[in-house]
Amino acid sequence: MSSKSTETPDPEPEEIESLAASEAADVVDALNKNRTRIFAGIIAAAVAICVILVGGQMQKQKHLEAAAAYTAAIDKNEIAALDAVLVNFPASIPAGNALLSKAELLLDQGKQQDALSTIEKFVSEFPQHPRYAQGLFGMANLYHVSGDNEKAKIYYEETIEAQPDGELTPFSKIRLGDLALEAGDAVEADQLYQKSYTEHPENPFYSVAEQKISLLAIGDPPTVPRPDPPKPEPTPEEETGEDTPAPMADEKKPNKEKAAKAGTPKPEAKQPSSKPKGNAKSKGVKKPKAKSTTEKAE
């Protein structure tokens, strides 16, 4: 069988020129008919761009003012100044920073419950804040310190979920390991320490995880019995033995017995009385006789 090839003839140059001319005319007619709409669209786009630029500039200026107010409040270190940032610049990044700084200041003042309420407000009102994970970790830490381990575990896990590669994630895993160890699960604690150690090798808490892993490997230290109380020292009278020399007589500290004897005066010796006792006459001594008056005259 023989097949005849069908070939499409090329259009003539005159036909091409006529088609182009007709299409150009249609375009011109369309432009003329929709000229008003086109110009209105161009003007609306220009206005929108201007509004966006002006709004962005105003928002940037507002952010700069809020940042300056927050810096001044930090320098004052007063809760009232931080509250002023929240009132004057609500829903701004500096306002969220003011809440976190307020919580830290309340903790320094010993007001733990007020600090917890402040961080809860930050977490609920600033979910898109760059420091959102820090707020979650702060809540977990406060609950951990207060003894509420269940809520502490929840917020440690939310911290990891909010920023899987954040700087607080390895520390949150360490804290979860601490909670497991407090609950008596040393195996889970070791797994969490290992995750913090291996999955985040260049984090600032790398050495903390390493230390905790080493302590778990050592285990509990052996129990050492309490030593007996020391025996009372013997008195000098009870001391015996050749090694202890007897005190010398010329020692500076006198013996108690010597001191007692030295302090007691010796009784004086009784001297014989010159008077004879009773009517007894002294032996060998003659009593002189009384002289008469005549003898006295001679």
Query: For residue 203, what is the domain's CATH number?
Result: 1.25.40.10
Q: What is the count of structural domains for the chain?
A: 2
Domain range for 49 is 18-118
pTM: 0.58
- Note whether 120 and 132 are within 8 A (CB): no
Same domain? 110 vs 65: yes
Q: What is the pLDDT of residue 13?
A: 57
* Whether residue 140 sits in one domain with residue 114: no
Looking at the structure, tell me whether residues 108 and 135 fall in a common domain.
no
Q: How many CB atoms lie within 10 A of CB 36?
A: 8
293 found inside a domain: no
Asked if residue 11 belongs to a domain, the reply is: no
In a domain, 61, yes or no: yes
Last residue of a domain, one of 159, 193, 219: 219
Q: What pLDDT is attached to residue 280?
A: 43
User: What was the pLDDT predicted at 232?
Assistant: 75
Distance CA 97, CA 81 (A): 13
**DSSP letter, residue 204:** T
**How many helices, marked H, and strands, marked E, lie in the chain?**
12, 0
Q: Could you tell me if residue 243 is inside a domain?
A: no
| 99 shares its domain with 142 | no
Low-confidence stretches of the chain (pLDDT beneath 70): 1-31, 33-35, 37-40, 51, 53-58, 220-224, 226, 235-298
Clarify whether residues 24 and 97 are in a common domain.
yes
Residues 57 and 137 in one domain: no
Q: Both 114 and 139 in a single domain?
A: no
Q: Is residue 242 part of a domain?
A: no
CA-nearest of 82, 67, 68 to 121 is 82
Q: What is the pLDDT of residue 27?
A: 66
Tokens of 240: 């015996």
Confidence at residue 223, expressed as pLDDT on a 0 to 100 scale: 61
Q: Does residue 274 belong to any structural domain of this protein?
A: no
112 and 26, same domain (yes or no): yes
- Using the 3D structure, point to which of 196, 219, 242 is the last residue of a domain: 219
Out of 199, 219, 239, a domain closes at 219
Q: What pLDDT is stored for residue 163 in this prediction?
A: 93
Report how far apart, in Å, the C-alpha atoms of 218 and of each of 118, 141, 207, 214 are: 41, 27, 17, 6
In a domain, 59, yes or no: yes
Residue 156 contacts residue 137 (beta carbons within 8 Å):
yes
Check residue 111 and give its pLDDT.
Answer: 95
> Residue 176: inside a domain, yes or no?
yes
Neighbours of 141 (CB within 10 A): 18
